[in-house]
Amino acid sequence: MVPLFYYIIVSTILFAIGVYGLVSKGNALRLLFAVEIVINAANLNLVAFTRYAMQTATGPSGQTFALFSIAIAAAEAAVGLAIIVVTFRLNKNVDVFKLRKLKN
Amino acid sequence: MIDEDTIAFVVLSVLTIGAALLSLETRQVVYGAIALAFSFLGIAGLFILLDATFVALFQIIVYVGAIAVLIIFTVMVVTKEVETEAKREPFKPLAIGIATIVALAVGIVASLSNLNSKYPVGPTYAAKDIGIQLTEVYYIPLIILGLILGASVVGALTLVRTDRN
């Protein structure tokens, strides 16, 4: 088996990729991709710590939390994509650097 | 001494991380969406390696089956014909710096902390255990989660509604 540390490293790299996408990208769809990557990194940590935990008193709580997280990510993706579609309908693009209707 | 678990872990990690990077860096957003689906699949494989089969199935059904398809449809609706993405990324060096700092910070903290269990010592859980816990311990969050899902679907449909009259 692989030590727990490797899973943490993979999860950290995924999280850093998501942070990079969130800071640098302008396309709203790419921002949504980055959010999904960050959520996946968190889920990977939850499941990994469930597998490597010593105490059994809490049961599979980590996996249950991962299930909740996946379901909430689905809800968030639905609403986010709907907002992107509405934004495209109103502004003809989804570049967040060009959305300045509320600025003045 | 390399066993098959390590090989599977390395392959799945490379697939996941590479697909995640590719999903942000492809020229066309459609290819990015497909790469994101592969990244989700890699995460599901890692879940199977961690003996969380039910979570892996859930991940495949919800992420690859629902979210990725939804994203691909939205990309097809939103993107213009041959529009390549605007290459203007003013914050790219800052973003790389922030991501590197975050990765280094978490990695250093994780390597300095003495993780007690380097190798799995706990039991593996079947879908039955998760079901029992969902219905006996976390039943109120489960109901709230159902309400959230229903409300989000209704909200999404209300947002994209067009009046055809």
The domain spanning residue A29 has which CATH number?
Answer: 1.10.287.3510
Q: Across chain B, what does the average pLDDT equal? A: 86
> Has residue A102 been placed in a domain?
no
* pLDDT confidence tier of residue A94, bands split at 50, 70 and 90: confident
Beta strands in A1-96 (DSSP E): none
**Considering only CB atoms, which chain B residues are within 8 Å of A16?**
99-100, 102-103
> Has residue A75 been placed in a domain?
yes
Lowest average pLDDT, out of A11-25, A84-98, B30-44, goes to A84-98
CB-closest option in A16, A53, A84 to B117: A53
Is the CB of residue A6 less than 8 Å from the CB of residue B100? no
> Has residue A82 been placed in a domain?
yes
Domain region containing B155: 127-165
State the total domains in chain B.
Answer: 2
Is the CB of residue A11 less than 8 Å from the CB of residue B13? no
pLDDT number for residue A74: 92
Tell me how far apart the 2 most distant CA atoms of chain B are, in Å. Answer: 70
| Contacts (Cβ under 8 Å, ≥6 apart) of B25 | B32
Task: Check whether residue B102 and residue B151 sit in a common domain.
Answer: no
pLDDT number for residue B84: 53
Q: Give residue for tokens 């995924």.
A: A14
> Has residue A43 been placed in a domain?
yes
> Has residue A104 been placed in a domain?
no
Taking CB atoms within 8 Å and a gap of at least 24, the contacts of B117-120 are B117/A4, B117/A52, B117/A53, B117/A54, B118/A3, B118/A4, B118/A5, B118/A52, B119/A1, B119/A3, B119/A4, B119/A52, B120/A1, B120/A51, B120/A52, B120/B51
pLDDT number for residue B82: 47
Report how far Cα A104 is from the mean position of its chain's Cα atoms: 32
Is the CB of residue A87 less than 8 Å from the CB of residue A99? yes
pLDDT number for residue B78: 84
pLDDT, tens digit, 9 for 90 and up, residues A41-83: 999 999 998 888 776 667 788 899 999 999 999 999 999 999 9
pLDDT number for residue B87: 60
CB-closest option in A50, A51, A86 to B160: A86
Task: Check whether residue B97 and residue B32 sit in a common domain.
Answer: yes
Distance between CA B115 and CA A7 in Å, rounded? 12
pLDDT, tens digit, 9 for 90 and up, residues B113-123: 777 657 777 77
Domain region containing A71: 4-91
pLDDT, tens digit, 9 for 90 and up, residues B45-94: 999 999 889 999 999 999 998 899 999 988 888 876 545 555 667 788 88
**Considering only CB atoms, which chain A residues are within 8 Å of B77?**
85, 88
pLDDT number for residue A27: 86
Q: Which residue has the higher pLDDT, B82 or A101?
A: A101
- Mean pLDDT over A6-33 rounds to 91
pLDDT number for residue A61: 87
Task: Check whether residue B70 and residue B149 sit in a common domain.
Answer: no
Structure tokens at A92: 């003809």
